[in-house]
Amino acid sequence: MLMLIAYIALVTFVVGFGWRLWTYWLAPAPLKIPTTPAPVSKSGVAWRLFTEVAFFNSLFKGNKWTWVGGYAFHAALLLVALRHLRYFVPVPEVFSHMQIFGILAGLIMVGALGFLLVRRWYVPRTRHISSLADYGMLLLLLAIGGSGLLMTFCVRPDIVSIKEAMTGWITFQGFKTPEDALFVLHFLLVLLLLAIFPFSKLMHLGGIFFSPTRNQVDNPREERHVNPWAGN
Amino acid sequence: MAGMKPYPAAEKHMTPMGFPPARVENWQEKGVEKMGEMLKKYRSLQVFMDICVKCGSCTDKCHYYIGTGDPNNMPVQRAELMRKVYRRYFTPAGKILPGVVKAEEFDEKVLQEWVTYFHQCSQCRRCSVFCPYGIDTAEVTMAAREIMDSIGVGHKYSTEIIGKVHTLGNNLGIPAPALKSTLQFLEDDILDNTGHEVRLPLDEPGAEVMLVPPSADFFSEPHIQSLIGYAKVFHQAGISFTISSFASEAANFGMFIGSYDHKRKIAKRIADKARELKVKRIVVGECGHAWRVAYSFWNTLNGPFDFLDPRYPAPQHICEFTHDLLQRGALTLDKEANDPYVVTFHDSCNVARASRMGPNPGGQFEIPRELIKASCNRFVEMDEETIREKTFCCGGGGGLLTDELMDLRIKGVLPRVTALKQVMKKDGVNFLALICAICKAQFTKVLPMYKIPMETVGGVHQLVSNAIVLGAKKGIV
């Protein structure tokens, strides 16, 4: 049963994510609309996108506290994801010495999510714009992080059988449901996240690269930009 | 509240534009259908509908939100007015769980919210600076207005004005003979004041440059002072120019209503006239949204402009033009002529965040400032958080410069007034230099409400006009 759910979620994620990106790709950008000042070369645009993705430049300009919470969460998530690699693929020896960073990151991630949740509720402006889905997303991530931390610090699961199951899962060879209940919960929550990903605001992960105000070169006079549907 | 909602367009405005004369019967269905069409035509709209995480970074950045305190003027919430409809009809989550994701039918209540709040956005793009994904509410506003027009729900002001451009060639509806006599009157005026025969030619084929100013430059104060400034610069440089009676308007309200076709048609008459008059360059006057359309869109809409002299950018902003001459030593400026003034500069929103001047990013900030500094001795900046890319809109842009929205305009100018008052008090500023016809019209009208005299408002080329020494030496071409 778990295996079936896991595959449905995985396929939903992969196909759904691809379908959204495909939709963005198909929709043309009829006009040049970079938010200026903007780079005047392609490499400049690559740098602009890199700094947006790596440092959240615009958010930093907009709101320092949200930046702190958002950046801490995303950076920690990256480290946590790296730490999880070893459950899926063989990793170099050096990774085992760096687990401590992943574990620390897990704590930071849950802390940052808590901060973002409190802030969303506490600041009248963000409370006004939030839907149940916005809170739900934070709670889901908190539950994933929380159950993960519990496994790290309180109820150690059987890593060997989990690793076996996960490798089987992502290589499409099937797997036996591991016995640890906490792990199964953790895993189910992640599957839920994967399944709703393409239909939610989490699509900002892929969408940012398609945002015309950020990914266009500022050269409308130098190079003629053609609108594919204008017929000239 | 009065003065916060636009007047609807009537049949006589809508029909000539090719829009339905009144609200169509199955407007809900048609509106949603149009939205679906636009999602496929505009990547910006499709992406912006999907990826907002509601981080809140934009929530306190809009001048209309700061001025009105109305939560629907938070950029994210304005876009949500469209997103909630998008979700309901175009996303699985909105179809299955409308309550959880805040999805709503496109009904009368939502339509009225659209009419109100998509006409409380001046398309100034300030929110897009602070959005981690570059979501630009201007794109959403334009799309919403296009959808509304398609179901016969138009805004009188913009629709009426576009009608005038199509028939008479400018927003004010000035016919060619009236324009001719105005320009002659101005020539006489300059001769009386300076003793120099500075020309303002109309429809003269073979001129080097076609000048396309906003039509307010012909009739309104202080706009007209900048027009005189442009003419003096041409005169002193010895470069011939002409104004075209049918292309006597740089502004392009097609952008305000989000209509690609009208935008293109309005822009096309300028390209056509430039060809017809056989000019080698096109120079655009002090006009903010106009410069965005000219700089960013003309080449796409009606390009290529390969019939123009390739040594100069096409089109060129009047500030770029004057700056270039200044650097080549063609102009002599006497700064002392502006000694009565302590000057500050308001970056116009669409110039700042939707265009460029000169070869480098940010030239749109530096070039006008360099012109000001070359024309006067005392220049100070307003609060850093309110200039350059973070500049506030004047409160009248994007098709809102109309009396029925006066309360909105008075509230919308608040952040700019706050920063201006600071430097007025601290540095004795008494001149607000501008490069936008809408900014000039809006500020002269609403600043007096805040006890700032309307004489404080003027153009960058007004300062140039005061400082330029006519007959100082021969210009160069």
Q: Which of B65, B36, B31, B34 is nearest to B137 (CA)?
A: B65
One DSSP character per residue, A99-146 reads HHHHHHHHHHHHHHHHHHHHHHHHSHHHHHH--HHHHHHHHHHHHHHH
B90 interfaces chain A, CB cutoff of 8 Å: no
**B330 in Cβ contact with B476 (< 8 Å):** yes
B residues 289-308 closer than 8 Å to A (CB): 295-297, 299-301, 303-304
Q: Residue A136 and residue B352: Cβ atoms within 8 Å?
A: no
Q: Which of A202, A176, A172, A208 is nearest to A190 (CA)?
A: A202
Note the pLDDT of residue B1: 57
Residue B471 has pLDDT above 70, yes or no: yes
Give burial (CB, 10 Å; 0-12/13-18/19+) of B156. Answer: middle
Other residues' Cβ atoms within 10 Å of the Cβ of residue A156: 11
pLDDT (mean) for A96-101: 83
ipTM reported for the complex, 2 dp: 0.96
Residue B13 has pLDDT above 70, yes or no: yes
Q: Closest partner residue to B61 among A59, A62, A130, by Cβ?
A: A62
B361 interfaces chain A, CB cutoff of 8 Å: yes
Q: Closest partner residue to B304 among A125, A129, A224, by Cβ?
A: A224
pLDDT digits (tens, 9 = 90+) for B44-96: 999 999 999 999 999 999 999 999 999 999 999 999 999 999 999 999 999 99
Note the pLDDT of residue B255: 97
Give burial (CB, 10 Å; 0-12/13-18/19+) of B2. Answer: exposed
pLDDT (mean) for A40-66: 98
Note the pLDDT of residue A99: 84
Give burial (CB, 10 Å; 0-12/13-18/19+) of B477. Answer: exposed
Note the pLDDT of residue A95: 77
Give the dihedral of Cα atoms B74, B75, B77, B80; nearest 10 deg.
170
B59 interfaces chain A, CB cutoff of 8 Å: yes
Q: Which of B300, B112, B404, B146 is nearest to A220 (CA)?
A: B300
Half-sphere exposure of B306 (CA within 13 A, CB side): 3
**What gap in Å lies between CA B282 and CA B51, rounded to an integer?**
39
Q: How far apart are the first and last CA of chain A?
A: 56
Note the pLDDT of residue B344: 98
pLDDT digits (tens, 9 = 90+) for A124-176: 999 999 999 999 999 999 999 999 999 999 999 999 999 999 999 999 999 99
Residue B354 has pLDDT above 80, yes or no: yes
Give burial (CB, 10 Å; 0-12/13-18/19+) of B60. Answer: middle
Note the pLDDT of residue B88: 98
Note the pLDDT of residue B474: 61
Structure tokens, B102: 């805040």
pLDDT (mean) for A184-208: 97
Q: Which residues contact B195 (CB under 8 A, 6 or more apart)?
A: none
Note the pLDDT of residue A190: 98
Residue B407 has pLDDT above 90, yes or no: yes
Note the pLDDT of residue A97: 80
Note the pLDDT of residue A210: 98
B220 interfaces chain A, CB cutoff of 8 Å: no
pLDDT (mean) for A93-108: 87
Q: Which residues contact B116 (CB under 8 A, 6 or more apart)?
A: B4, B5, B72
Distance of CA B377 to the CA centre of its chain: 28
pLDDT digits (tens, 9 = 90+) for B194-232: 999 999 999 999 999 999 999 999 999 999 999 999 999
Note the pLDDT of residue B2: 75
| CA closest to B349 among chain A residues | A36
Q: String of b and e for B391-426 (b: at least 16 CB within 10 Å)?
A: bbbbbbbbbbbbebbbebbbbbbbbbbebbbebbee
Residue B476 has pLDDT above 70, yes or no: no
pLDDT (mean) for B395-423: 97
pLDDT (mean) for A165-191: 95
pLDDT (mean) for B129-158: 98
Residue A61 has pLDDT above 80, yes or no: yes
Note the pLDDT of residue B169: 86
pLDDT category of residue B252 using cuts at 50, 70 and 90: very high
Note the pLDDT of residue A27: 97
Residue A3 has pLDDT above 70, yes or no: yes
pLDDT (mean) for B363-379: 98
Note the pLDDT of residue A150: 96
Distance of CA B29 to the CA centre of its chain: 33
Q: Closest partner residue to B53 among A52, A125, A201, by Cβ?
A: A201
Mean pLDDT score of chain B, rounded to an integer?
96
Note the pLDDT of residue B14: 96
Q: Closest partner residue to B133 among A136, A204, A221, by Cβ?
A: A204
Note the pLDDT of residue B388: 98
Mean pLDDT score of chain A, rounded to an integer?
95
